[in-house]
């Protein structure tokens, strides 16, 4: 026989089925740079802090190369702003306080970061007198009276600022290069046309004290782009040398040593190009 009648089904339990779920309150989620209306002073303070943090994050993600928003390298500026043109920008490779940022030239065609020497030249004159028959290389900074090691960065920078920043720049780079122009009067810079040898060729010194030569181990030799100092003519000429290396610790160039100097009619001067890292 059929059992007793059961309890009825409460249809109200299914009343919500088929109805769309309510979305989140649009007022709950807001951008950090949008102030909600009617905020209390404390909430407005938090909102301003979030906005400032958001701006800082954006400046890190997309550096402008300005004094207030320097980049690590010119390569970073090129990646973030591929349409920007070559020119002077600010970088801060050690990513510390921006007060020690340095101004550099950014080659936007290559992404190179170039730091200019200060001063950028050695005046042309007779720097060395010697009656010794056997000539040897004479280092400009270490031996010649009035000589100096080449330094880099603006003259108004705090001591060692450019050196510290270049240490970090070298770590962030895979290649470095620099040109030196040697102005000569009766002074052989590279090839001695009379003997056909490179014995009198210039020596240059890298920042890690390595000597870079005209011949020998290819890792420690420079190349010559122009050689107008091959013989004694009584007129001024110039020789342009370039050093390029994947050992960035060897740059910039800090000293130079000519050999064919010492006579009363022998003069020289030097123009230093910027040191460029990529």
Q: Kindly give the pairing relationship between strand 112-115 and strand 102-107.
A: antiparallel
202: in domain: yes
Percentage of the chain modeled with pLDDT above 90: 71
Nearest to 137 by CA among 83, 204, 85: 204
> Same structural domain for residues 54 and 140?
no
Q: Report residue 59: phi and psi, to 5°.
A: -70, -30
234/137 same-domain check: yes
The model's confidence at residue 159, banded by pLDDT at 50, 70 and 90, is: confident
Hey, is 19 helix, strand or coil?
coil
Both 122 and 256 in one domain: the answer is yes
Distance linking the first and last C-alpha atoms of the chain: 95
Q: Are residues 101 and 76 in the same domain?
A: yes
Give the domain extent around 94. Answer: 41-109
Residue 91 pLDDT greater than 70, yes or no: yes
Helix (H) or strand (E) holding 171: helix 161-171
1 domain-assigned: no
Domain boundary among 53, 80, 109: 109
Whether residue 32 lies inside any domain: the answer is: no
Q: Name residue 90's beta-bridge partners.
A: 103
Q: Which long-range contacts (CB under 8 A, 24 or more apart) does 83-88 make?
A: 84/108
pLDDT at 229 over 70: yes
Q: Does 24 score more than 70 pLDDT?
A: no
The answer on 120 and 104 residing in a single domain is no
Q: Are residues 152 and 86 in the same domain?
A: no
Q: Domain for residue 59, yes or no?
A: yes
**Structure confidence by residue, pLDDT tens digits, 99-147:** 999 999 999 999 999 999 999 999 999 999 999 888 999 999 999 999 9
CATH number at residue 255: 2.60.120.1000
* pLDDT at residue 22 tops 60: no
Beta bridge partners of 117: 152
Supply the pLDDT for residue 51: 66
Residues 69 and 193 in one domain: no
Q: What is the mean pLDDT of residues 256-276?
A: 98
User: Within 13 Å, how many C-alpha atoms sit on residue 116's CB side?
Assistant: 18
- Residue 5: per-residue pLDDT: 59
User: pLDDT tens across 269-278, in order?
Assistant: 999 999 999 9
Q: What mean pLDDT comes out for the span 249-258?
A: 98
Q: How confident is the model at residue 15 (pLDDT cuts 50, 70, 90)?
A: low
Whether 220 is covered by a domain: the verdict is yes
200/218 Cα distance (integer angstroms):
18
* pLDDT (0 to 100) of residue 43: 75
Instruction: Kindly write down the DSSP assignment for every residue of 30-44, as one continuous string.
Output: --TT-PPTT--HHHH
The confidence score (pLDDT) of residue 86 equals 98
Q: What percentage of the chain reaches a pLDDT higher than 70?
A: 80
Residue 124 and residue 104 share a domain = no
> What are the tens digits of pLDDT across the range 31-62?
545 555 665 666 777 777 776 666 656 555 66
Residue 272 belongs to a domain: yes
Mean pLDDT of 251-258: 98
pLDDT at 7: 56
The values of phi and psi at residue 46, to 5°, are -60, -40
Is residue 33 in a domain? no
What is the model's pLDDT at position 49? 74
Q: In the structure, what pLDDT confidence band is assigned to residue 157 with cuts at 50, 70 and 90? A: confident
Question: Domain tally for the chain?
Answer: 2
Q: Which two tokens stand for residue 243?
A: 């050093």
């Amino acid at each position: 026989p059929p059992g007793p009648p059961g309890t009825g089904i409460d249809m109200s339990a299914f009343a919500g089925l088929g109805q769309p779920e309510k979305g989140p309150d649009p007022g709950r989620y807001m951008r950090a740079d949008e102030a909600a209306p009617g905020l209390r002073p404390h909430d407005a303070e938090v909102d301003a802090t979030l906005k400032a943090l958001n701006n800082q994050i954006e400046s890190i993600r997309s550096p402008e190369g300005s004094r207030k928003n320097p980049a690590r390298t010119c390569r970073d500026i090129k990646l973030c702003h591929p349409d920007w043109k070559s020119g002077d920008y600010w970088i801060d490779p050690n990513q510390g306080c921006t007060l020690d940022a340095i101004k550099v030239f950014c080659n936007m065609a290559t992404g190179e970061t170039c730091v200019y020497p200060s001063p950028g030249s050695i005046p042309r004159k007779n720097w060395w007198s010697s009656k010794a028959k056997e000539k040897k290389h004479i280092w400009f900074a270490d031996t010649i009276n009035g000589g100096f090691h080449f330094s880099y960065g603006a003259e108004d920078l705090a001591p060692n600022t450019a050196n510290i920043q270049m240490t970090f720049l070298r770590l962030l780079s895979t290649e470095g290069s620099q040109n030196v122009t040697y102005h000569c009067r009766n002074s052989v810079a590279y090839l001695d046309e009379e003997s056909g040898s490179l014995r009198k060729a210039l020596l240059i010194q890298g920042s890690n004290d390595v000597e870079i030569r005209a011949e020998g181990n290819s890792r420690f030799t420079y190349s010559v782009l122009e050689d107008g100092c091959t013989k004694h003519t009584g007129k001024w000429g110039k020789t342009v040398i370039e050093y390029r290396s994947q050992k960035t610790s060897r740059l910039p160039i800090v000293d130079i040593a000519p050999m064919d100097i010492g006579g009363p009619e022998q003069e020289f001067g030097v123009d230093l190009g910027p040191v460029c890292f990529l």
